[in-house]
């Protein structure tokens, strides 16, 4: 039986074993020799002057570590090169979510009457006007049937049309918005990137084609005008896909309001007049807008009368009430040499297919 210090294949050939053998527990096999960090010079090499007896060999761990480090460097270089190549040459468009909405472009056109504004009761005025058979309120904002497009489902198209209807109702029919007491119902439906322009338009209205409050909503000066709750509405909505991530809705509606002077106490029975606003608007939606029930207003074209052309309608519409005449049918002057903010002054003449009749004069002595 082999001693505990013998090699696995039996006692060493030189027979050296036992307690007097200092190296009896070592096995100098081939693997031991290959793993050695020192190597003895040959007899020929040891004959030289100042020759050393042994030389150091490079460790295997060091060689393996160098190979791993080199491989990692190559992989990192390949990954970086691939990222740069894809960033410069990928064929895909920038995601639409990163696109910022363009500023709303708006046009306001006051319509001046040729003569005095007819007066009467709201019911009589509506009955003898082109709005006689127009639906009332939200019923006049009727979206077309929603059908899927190339990239938008039927439900997404329906969501866009519903959001536009809500916007038109909030900005043209809400009593608090019409009286100038609120803007939140309109603001809540806007894309957040348009909030700055909207806030500036409401706080500092100016007719420069971008910052009129009446480009966003219909409102009157509560100190001058009291709108009747009944509003007649008629118009159209249409939609189209303008990109793989863009849906457009265009609205064209005429709103007819019955207005009275803002006076304390009971209103005179026949002192109402009609005021007509036509709004043509273009809205844009991306998928995030559809999901969050909001929209981007791209363009707003408004015609409203009867008004005087020189009246500044950027902050609130300035209707001419019953019996009044337009001061002038010429728009406000524009100085092309002025260096201040530009003015987008336009004006038209109010023409309707059927004017309400003028209320008959009261007989002498009547109250």
Give me the tens of pLDDT residue by residue for the chain, a chain 367 residues long. Answer: 555 555 555 555 555 555 555 555 555 566 655 655 555 656 666 666 555 655 555 555 455 567 777 777 888 888 877 776 666 554 444 444 457 788 999 999 999 998 999 999 999 999 999 999 999 999 999 999 999 999 999 999 999 999 999 999 999 999 999 999 999 999 999 999 999 999 999 999 998 999 999 999 999 999 999 999 999 999 999 999 998 999 999 999 999 999 999 987 676 678 999 999 999 999 999 999 999 999 999 999 999 999 998 889 999 999 999 999 998 766 666 666 666 666 666 888 888 875 555 544 444 333 3
In this prediction, residue 365 carries a pLDDT of 39
In this prediction, residue 74 carries a pLDDT of 83
Kindly report the pTM of this predicted structure.
Answer: 0.70
Residue that has been written with the tokens 């029975």 in this structure: 269
| All structural domains of the chain with their residue ranges | 105-333+343-349
Residue that has been written with the tokens 């009749």 in this structure: 357
Rounded CA gap, 81 and 72, in Å? Answer: 14
Sign of the CA dihedral with 203 first, then 205, 211, and 216 last: positive
What SS3 class is residue 294?
coil
Rounded CA gap, 195 and 207, in Å? Answer: 18
Query: What is the full DSSP assignment across 227-260?
Result: EEEEEEEEEEEEEEEEETTEEEEEEEEEEEEEEE
**Cα within 13 Å of Cα(22), Cβ side:** 0
In this prediction, residue 75 carries a pLDDT of 81
Instruction: Give, in degrees to the nearest 5, the angle at Cα 300 between 310 and 297.
Output: 145
CB burial string 278-292: b at 16+ within 10 A, e below: bbbbbbbbbeebbee
Q: Cα 312 vs. chain centroid, distance in angstroms?
A: 30
């Amino acid at each position: 039986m082999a001693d505990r210090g013998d090699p696995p294949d039996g006692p060493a050939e030189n027979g050296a074993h036992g307690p007097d053998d200092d190296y009896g527990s070592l096995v100098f096999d081939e693997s031991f020799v290959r793993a050695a960090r020192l190597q003895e010079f040959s007899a020929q090499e040891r004959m030289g002057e100042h020759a050393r007896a042994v030389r150091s060999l490079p460790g295997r761990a060091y060689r393996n570590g160098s190979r791993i480090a080199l491989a990692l460097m190559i992989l990192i270089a390949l990954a970086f090169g691939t990222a740069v190549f894809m960033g410069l040459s990928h064929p895909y468009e920038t995601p639409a979510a990163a696109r910022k909405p363009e500023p709303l472009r708006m046009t306001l056109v006051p319509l001046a009457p040729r003569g005095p504004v007819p007066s009467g009761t709201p019911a009589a005025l509506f009955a003898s006007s082109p709005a006689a058979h127009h639906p009332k309120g939200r019923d006049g904002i009727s979206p077309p049937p929603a059908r899927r497009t190339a990239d938008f489902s039927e439900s997404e198209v329906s969501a866009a049309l519903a959001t536009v209807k809500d916007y038109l109702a909030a900005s043209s029919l809400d009593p608090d918005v019409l009286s100038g007491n609120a803007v939140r119902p309109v603001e809540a439906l806007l894309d957040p990137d348009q909030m700055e322009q909207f806030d500036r338009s409401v706080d500092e209205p100016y007719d420069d084609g971008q910052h009129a409050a009446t480009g966003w909503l219909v409102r009157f000066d509560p100190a001058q005008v009291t709108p009747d709750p009944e509003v007649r509405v008629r118009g159209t909505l249409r939609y189209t896909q303008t990109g793989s991530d863009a849906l457009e809705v265009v609205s064209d509606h005429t709103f007819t309001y019955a207005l009275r002077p803002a006076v304390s106490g009971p209103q005179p029975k026949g002192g109402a007049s009609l005021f007509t606003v036509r709004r043509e608007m273009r809205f844009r939606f991306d998928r995030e807008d559809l999901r969050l029930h909001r929209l981007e207003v791209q363009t707003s074209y408004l015609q409203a009368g009867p008004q005087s052309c020189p009246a500044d309608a950027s902050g609130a519409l300035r209707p001419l009430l019953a019996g009044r005449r337009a001061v002038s049918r010429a728009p406000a002057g524009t100085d092309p040499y002025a260096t201040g903010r530009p003015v987008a002054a336009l004006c038209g003449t109010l023409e309707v297919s059927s004017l309400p009749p003028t209320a008959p004069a009261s007989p002498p002595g009547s109250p």
